[in-house]
A and B are shown apart, each in its own frame.
Chain A
């Protein structure tokens, strides 16, 4: 052994630095990245409490306290975008979380390997497309002369200007999200399914379980850790509902259902230049997001025994 490492005891910093300085040196640039582009912006949130002037300091000019927070709590638009965020986040969770599990279970029952492989490959495909392309395709398919309206006409309906009606936005957003993510989401579940112990199925069969009960009592518990992990991760992105996609798909006519916190703060901050106000909204959003992940993680550790950390 070249350098036996005592277990259980910590090396003193001085020895560690002398021995591993080359390793630490490799970490310098990545750390610089994290500090500059991840942690500095976190501190930069200070401008939510300070008056920021374009071209001025990264952290603002002088303290304004909670002024910007009070501002958005009394802003009616804020409450409407807050509601939209919750609704879209909840719908996304309700559809985008379970559907990959269902698809993975169905794929797992396919005995023909070529067929299985083919279905999988096809269903991953949308994941590799840019959001811009997905949005462009959605706009084309749903335009007045698009495929969907041809079907509407075929069954005797009037063409619907889908993208111009607020009532349709949630359906469109969630469906396109499912289309794009469902296949990719199956990967982890399929991996988890292969690790379920085959003997358990045999035991269940001897106990008289039919295939449905085998799925219910053996397969699902077998992939539960994966399910919980992905659920927590999904909850973590709850508040950050597809900002980029909404930005590409929405328009003033669909604002009533499409405008979410992140798109609103984009307009307030970047478009109108009210950076401090927008930063306050963004900070509020991030804090809720973080709280959601932490609580989901804590709840799952207590109840299911699986947690991210």
Chain B
């Protein structure tokens, strides 16, 4: 269970970006989490709720988009979702597949409210 440390990293990325944008509050945090990232989304959300208390991100919604595992066949180039019972390429049966998605773990975007709406206008965002 290493979600606590990971959630701390998530929060520090979120707070840094929010501060950079001059935000008064973070309302939503969108994450992409691969199926094989070894991170449990519910656990991450739980810790985020605790760690974010007293910060700009207190009460922010945490949205997790799970990214499925996908392989690319090194033999024929076919991209496919492997079955646990059959990792081999369904097109050419080669088992020289390489993982192309499924290990992602990143903060995709955040939604914030700006204290100073003037700065939001000048940066071209509304």
A interacts with B = no
Question: Taking beta carbons and an 8 Å cutoff, which residues of B are in contact with A?
Answer: none
Question: Taking beta carbons and an 8 Å cutoff, which residues of A are in contact with B?
Answer: none
